[in-house]
């Protein structure tokens, strides 16, 4: 019974790893930007493209050109760029780790039990309790340990077109499309 649970656990972990390796589709860059204008207002969104004299900002996660906001370089004071965090990945890793730790603890605890019909029921209940506890603790630790968001860069323009053009290659790294 114990070897069956452990072997199922290894198959499950291998399957999760193999399925995550299959994700090779093109992903839209997910960098959020806060553009502070010279007048003090803030425009939030994602950089669609960086032209030589203006930025195109979108609020969507697509290559759709509807609703683009065009901001002239002379109006830009600063650009703050952040990357979305990976809380989901942290929860997944924590859950799988907690499942494994719960299975190991349950296996160690079940070695002390006597054989018999009632003992097998108690053993499977203890295993389920340990594994569930491991999952809950692991998911909580994974959610806390995962980065929520990450500040990548702050680019100061101060309304100067020359500073903007000097930084345009850096800005284009975070854009959906490259020009």
Which CA distances in Å does 149 have to 83, 86, 163?
6, 8, 27
3-state helix, strand, coil in the chain (%, to 5): 50, 25, 30
Question: Does residue 131 share a domain with residue 48?
Answer: no
Quote the pLDDT of residue 60: 74
Quote the pLDDT of residue 119: 59
Residue 59 covered by a domain: yes
Q: Is 76 helix (H, G, I), strand (E, B) or coil?
A: strand
Quote the pLDDT of residue 12: 61
What domain range includes position 90?
Answer: 86-145
Question: Does residue 141 share a domain with residue 90?
Answer: yes
Domain of residue 36, CATH code: 2.30.30
Residue 90 covered by a domain: yes
The pTM of the full predicted model, rounded to 2 decimals, is 0.55
| pLDDT tens-digit map of 121-138 | 667 777 888 888 888 888
Question: Does residue 120 share a domain with residue 99?
Answer: yes
Q: Which of 27-31, 36-40, 168-172 has the highest mean pLDDT?
A: 36-40
Residue 12 covered by a domain: no
How many whole angstroms separate alpha carbon 19 and alpha carbon 164?
42
Domain tally, the chain = 2
């Amino acid at each position: 019974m114990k070897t069956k649970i452990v072997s199922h656990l290894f198959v499950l972990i291998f399957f999760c790893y193999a399925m995550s390796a299959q994700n090779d589709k093109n992903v839209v860059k997910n960098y959020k930007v806060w553009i502070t204008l010279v007048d003090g207002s803030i425009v939030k969104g994602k950089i669609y493209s960086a032209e030589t004299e203006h930025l195109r900002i979108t609020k969507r996660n697509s290559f759709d050109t509807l609703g683009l906001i065009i901001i002239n370089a002379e109006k830009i004071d600063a650009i703050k760029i952040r990357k979305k965090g990976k809380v989901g990945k942290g929860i997944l890793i924590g859950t799988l780790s907690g499942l494994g730790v719960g299975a190991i603890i349950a296996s160690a605890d079940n070695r002390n039990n006597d054989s018999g019909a009632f003992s097998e029921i108690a053993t499977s209940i203890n295993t389920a309790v340990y594994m569930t506890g491991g999952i809950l603790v692991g998911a909580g630790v994974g959610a806390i340990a995962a980065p929520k968001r990450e500040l990548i860069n702050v680019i100061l323009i101060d309304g100067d077109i020359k500073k903007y053009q000097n930084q345009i290659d850096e800005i284009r790294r975070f854009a959906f499309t490259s020009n």
